[in-house]
Structure 1
């Protein structure tokens, strides 16, 4: 199992939205606060990112910014330019023919995450992730996006959806690769022992894992593993296991008509009652009510 991909797949709701933005100075776009996370790639020209907190950030060609926590922010040709509200229904579709002479060109993507089940991997990201785009893999993804936008053809819409997903994964990978932290997910993703334990949890969440078993997968003593896992991941091993099981249960309640007994079996709970009790403790509502709210919300 690929833990990073697994987490994003489980937490993201719906398909990512993508649009191609072309601007002439002066211009400014305000992205309101909400459940979405914004990712922007500057394809041509230069502009400024105006975060909800902190100083404006100047962007150059190839720069990528990811705003993960749903905070409001803006993009503009100058920090003092007037701002207009962004609306999806007025954005240029990502597969539309573009004006190659426009001085500013941006690819804007929006991802939606289930904020009721946030993962510590996302929680520890800063308000703004700013990358230069010089990392080879990230630069290659940007080049593919730019090429598809400059010459849209049959299948472009589907291709761009996959590329936008790929962009987010490359952004997160590049960020964690660049981190020099001695704790948190930058160390988790580079620690073969912790990753082995996480692969076990993610791969077979229905297994009745114990700390001793997970420590065995990691090649550490029980005490060393528990201390390292808690420090890096931000949860105890069994606390993380419970969180992952609840996340999977919530995803299946949202995306499928699977009966509660099938979801209980897949997530390691012997009975519907045991799952319902754990789920209500985690989400504050019974599974059936959660499913009804998501279907009607």
Structure 2
């Protein structure tokens, strides 16, 4: 897998959930902070997103917005003031358990209607890859002709699947939601000039080293072998890798191996010996010692504490 895929997979838990909501007239609904990532896609009409502690964001047709750290926020028909935000109706009460809702104030015939797809991804924020950690609180991806065609295609396909009870929708919708997360992060990276990981993946030397480590984390890597893989000297690799990634190559490898191990402990029932071999540890004892030093608990206890995370979340 590539670095971005690994970064997402390492924190994903269960399946995404989503629902379509409709509103008209004057309305204001609050979504509480969430231990995961939230998203909204405006399929019809317009609205405003008011993140806790952030500036209001206007959303129009085709706009997508990702809240990768689960920030609390308000959706409203307009850029309402602080008093209106404080009176916002809890989204769970207003949306009627995932069914389309009506606004508190009835709409007139000429008032625009809102049709928005809202959803959540369950994420394990205890072990977030730095690529995910550097995402801003709000990723706003406005609809612009010719920009991010894969994201636009995913949104269009979701609209089709959600527009009627089509055969296979139970599989198609969660799969499209997974694609949507990838496309939103990819779109943000393509337009980000401040992200360290955008720079790291854009550097041919560092990107080559990262691809090698993620392609085969169990390999007996050394600084010399990795430098040869990247086609540079060991000092050059160490300098460029550390500057862009934030830690030396072998320190990153250790961190990634154990992060990958935590994911395997949560998501599989593989024995410890098999997990140790998959991430590059010669014995379960060596793996357990390294894992305990990093996580403060044994692999077995970590698995027991996260056993329920493998249960899928209903779409």
TM-score (norm 2): 0.86
- Compute the displacement of 1:153 (Å): 0.8
Write out aligned runs for 1:11-22 (5 A): 11-22=11-22
CA distance, structure 2, for counterparts of residue 226 and residue 72 of structure 1: 39
Between stretches 130-139 and 285-294, larger displacement belongs to 130-139
- Compute the displacement of 1:143 (Å): 1.5
Q: In the alignment, is residue 143 of structure 1 matched against residue 156 of structure 2? A: yes
Write out aligned runs for 1:1-297 (5 A): 1-80=1-80, 81=84, 82-87=87-92, 90-92=97-99, 103-134=113-144, 135=147, 136-181=149-194, 184-295=196-307
User: Could you list the per-position Cα deviations for residues 230-287 of structure 1 after superposition, in whole angstroms to 9, with x for gaps in the alignment?
Assistant: 2222222112211211112111211222211111111111111111111112111111
User: Could you list the per-position Cα deviations for residues 135-160 of structure 1 after superposition, in whole angstroms to 9, with x for gaps in the alignment?
Assistant: 22222221212222223311112111
Q: What secondary structure, in the 3-state scheme, does the structure 1 residue paired with 2:280 have?
A: coil
User: Could you list the per-position Cα deviations for residues 96-150 of structure 1 after superposition, in whole angstroms to 9, with x for gaps in the alignment?
Assistant: xxxxx98101111211111111111011111111111322222222121222222
Alignment check: 8 A CA contact 2:2 2:215 kept: no
RMSD: 2.0
CA distance, structure 2, for counterparts of residue 141 and residue 225 of structure 1: 38
CA distance, structure 2, for counterparts of residue 208 and residue 227 of structure 1: 21
Alignment check: 8 A CA contact 1:117 1:247 kept: yes
Between stretches 134-143 and 64-73, larger displacement belongs to 134-143
- CA 1:221–1:50: 2 relative to 1, 3 Å: same
Q: What secondary structure, in the 3-state scheme, does the structure 2 residue paired with 1:266 have?
A: helix
Alignment check: 8 A CA contact 2:24 2:114 kept: yes
Alignment check: 8 A CA contact 1:29 1:75 kept: yes
User: Could you list the per-position Cα deviations for residues 5-40 of structure 1 after superposition, in whole angstroms to 9, with x for gaps in the alignment?
Assistant: 122122101111111111122222222113120111
Alignment check: 8 A CA contact 1:47 1:59 kept: yes
Alignment check: 8 A CA contact 1:120 1:234 kept: no
Q: What secondary structure, in the 3-state scheme, does the structure 1 residue paired with 2:126 have?
A: helix
- Structure 2: unaligned runs, 5 residues or longer: 101-110, 310-315
- Structure 1: unaligned runs, 5 residues or longer: 94-100
- Compute the displacement of 1:296 (Å): 5.5
User: Could you list the per-position Cα deviations for residues 195-236 of structure 1 after superposition, in whole angstroms to 9, with x for gaps in the alignment?
Assistant: 221121112111121122222222222122112112222222
Q: What secondary structure, in the 3-state scheme, does the structure 2 residue paired with 1:212 have?
A: helix
Q: What secondary structure, in the 3-state scheme, does the structure 1 residue paired with 2:208 have?
A: helix
- CA 1:285–1:102: 2 relative to 1, 3 Å: farther
Q: What secondary structure, in the 3-state scheme, does the structure 1 residue paired with 2:187 have?
A: helix
Between stretches 104-113 and 1-10, larger displacement belongs to 1-10
For CA contacts below 8 A with separation 6 or more, give which structure has more relative contact order: 2
Alignment check: 8 A CA contact 2:42 2:61 kept: yes
CA distance, structure 2, for counterparts of residue 239 and residue 152 of structure 1: 50
CA distance, structure 1, for counterparts of residue 235 and residue 42 of structure 2: 47
Between stretches 51-60 and 227-236, larger displacement belongs to 227-236
Q: What is the match of residue 96 of structure 1?
A: none
Q: What secondary structure, in the 3-state scheme, does the structure 2 residue paired with 1:90 have?
A: coil
